[in-house]
Amino acid sequence: MKNTVLTLKKQKEEGNKITMLTAYDYSVAKLIDGAGIETILVGDSLGMTMLGYEDTLPVTMEDMIHHTACVSRGAKEAFVIADMPFLSYQTSVYDAVLNAGRLIKEGHAQAVKLEGGASVCEQIKAITDAQIPVCAHLGLTPQSTNAFGGFKVQGKSAERAKQIVEDAFKVQEAGAFMVVLECIPEKLATLITELLDIPTIGIGAGAGCDGQVLVYHDMLGMFTDFKPKFVKHFGNIGEAMTKAFTDYKDEVKSASYPAKEHTFKIDDDIMEELYKEYK
């Protein structure tokens, strides 16, 4: 059965933790979906994990639509949320509704995610009014990396902690159905989770949230440029891939791959004729 805004809300009410992972393509989405993860985020983190940029800022609407459509084809039960890339919603409410609509119409996502609090509440309200569920994103919002002066934990000072709490109330009031809390102290995330009616999804925000999200490359040990403190490797797939690539190279070079069982047969008479004609 497809997960929906209603099933996710019920999970919060019942204290049943919500699981979320990123995906950017059909095959991985199918594996995540098959594992019973309830929500898939097509994150603009694809700028780093898939496209090799240093941050998420260069990611375009076309990138997001392309990858969201691939993921949607693989997600039979998981609820698919697509990230709105940098400058696809900050510029105007009109742009925000139009671009959110494209992620639904062309990417076949069930919801969109955008970063920010009070400053994007008009956009959240307008997108929600267009019947598109919106997931908000507070704390360390990667599209603000230049304004923050880097990827830094947010909400440690009294002033900033209060601002994040106020933003959480505002995005809920504007209509957000869910909020991602990234890289904020565990106790602050727990308080916000207790205060809000909508589910909170943590990443680097401790166990008190209603659910958790990780970038799948991080949790599988496939992205090794840097490892944030909150990341746990649930597998060493990066190492397994490197070993498989090396084994493949060695077997091709030694001509032990492909073996007989990997080849197709042809009638000997046909080959004899071909040899006679050409050799």
Tell whether residue 43 is a contact of ligand KIV (CB under 6 A): yes
**Whole-number minimum distance, CB 39 to ligand KIV, in Å?**
11
Q: How many CB atoms lie within 10 A of CB 239?
A: 14
Tokens of 177: 């159905």
> What number of chain residues touch ligand KIV (CB under 6 A)?
11
Cβ(17)–Cβ(206) below 8 Å? no
Distant-in-sequence, close-in-space partners of 145: CB < 8 Å, separation ≥ 6: 55, 57, 151
Which residue's CB comes closest to ligand KIV? 43
**Whole-number minimum distance, CB 208 to ligand KIV, in Å?**
17
Stretch that binds ligand KIV, among 9-17, 27-35, 40-48, 163-171 (CB under 6 A): 40-48
Name residues contacting ligand KIV, limited to 170-189 (CB under 6 A).
180, 182
Tell whether residue 44 is a contact of ligand KIV (CB under 6 A): yes
Tell whether residue 203 is a contact of ligand KIV (CB under 6 A): yes
* Torsion of Cα atoms, 238 then 242 then 244 then 250, to 10°: 180
Name which of 214, 210, 184 is nearest 196 in CA terms: 210
User: Angle at the Cα of 31 (from 30 to 34), degrees rounded to 5?
Assistant: 85
Name residues contacting ligand KIV, limited to 4-33 (CB under 6 A).
22
User: Angle at the Cα of 114 (from 198 to 15), degrees rounded to 5?
Assistant: 25
Active-site annotation holds for 182 = yes
Tell whether residue 120 is a contact of ligand KIV (CB under 6 A): no
Q: Which is nearer to ligand KIV, 23 or 159 (CB)?
A: 23
* Chain centre distance of CA 181: 14
**Whole-number minimum distance, CB 5 to ligand KIV, in Å?**
18
Residues forming the site for ligand KIV (CB under 6 A): 22, 41, 43-45, 83, 180, 182, 203, 213, 215
Residue numbers annotated as active site: 182
